[in-house]
Amino acid sequence: MVNDVRQLRAKRGLSQGQLALELGVSRQTINSIENDRYTPTLNLAITIARFFDKPVEEVFHANGTG
């Protein structure tokens, strides 16, 4: 699973820590998601997508589906 969280966060001008605070998770979790080391639960994925006003499938992509 790959994602556009890093780009979306950068567009908003947020640090990883600020985004983590907004989503109620740790900064390390945001870092792991951005580096594709951790696939978030559906709950967190939806929360992230809603935060960026995007559908989940525009933020998270199964490998090979761009």
Number of residues that bind other proteins (CB under 8 A): 15
- List 18, 23, 54, 56, residue binding other proteins (CB under 8 A): 23
Q: What are phi and psi of 2, to 5 degrees?
A: -110, 165
Q: What are the residues whose beta carbons fall under 8 Å from the beta carbon of 19, sequence distance 6 or more?
A: 5, 9, 12, 30, 51
Q: Kindly write out the interface string for residues 45-64 of this chain, putting x where it contacts other proteins by CB under 8 A and - elsewhere.
A: -xx-----------------
25 lies in the binding site for other proteins (CB under 8 A): yes
* Cβ–Cβ under 8 Å, residues 23 and 52: no
Q: Which residues bind other proteins (CB under 8 A)?
A: 23-29, 32, 38, 40-41, 43-44, 46-47
